[in-house]
Amino acid sequence: MSRVIRHVVVRGRVQGVGFRAHVEHHAFKLHLEGWVRNRRDGSVEAVFAGSADAIAQMIVATEKGPPGGRVDALDQREGSEADLNSRVAGEVFSVLPTV
């Protein structure tokens, strides 16, 4: 099984509604590595690494969002090891500060 890395940016009502906690919960549930953070432009950015199937499930969970949230757009691209290395050293999945 090869590892896939995806970089996503989510737009909509995705801040102040528990979106990062929603992403973190599903990432742990799916045994993914990576990170999530708010961006000053009101979006949420994340990087996920794991099996293709787990990544596909994570994208669906991210598009759904938490109750109270609303996803208007989810942009994704292939991620890199450099993207993944932004997480906190020693953590499997990190919630990072806003950029």
Q: Which of 20, 39, 40, 70 is catalytic?
A: 20
Beta-sheet strands, E only, within 1-99: 4-13, 33-38, 44-50, 70-78, 93-95
Contact between residue 26 and residue 46 where contact means Cβ atoms under 8 Å apart: no
Active site includes 20? Answer: yes
Q: Which of 6, 37, 38, 87 is catalytic?
A: 38
- In one-letter notation, the amino acid at residue 13 is R
Active site includes 6? Answer: no
Report residue 32 as tokens: 């993914």
Report residue 49 as tokens: 């690494």
H or E stretch covering 36: strand 33-38
Q: Which residues are catalytic?
A: 20, 38
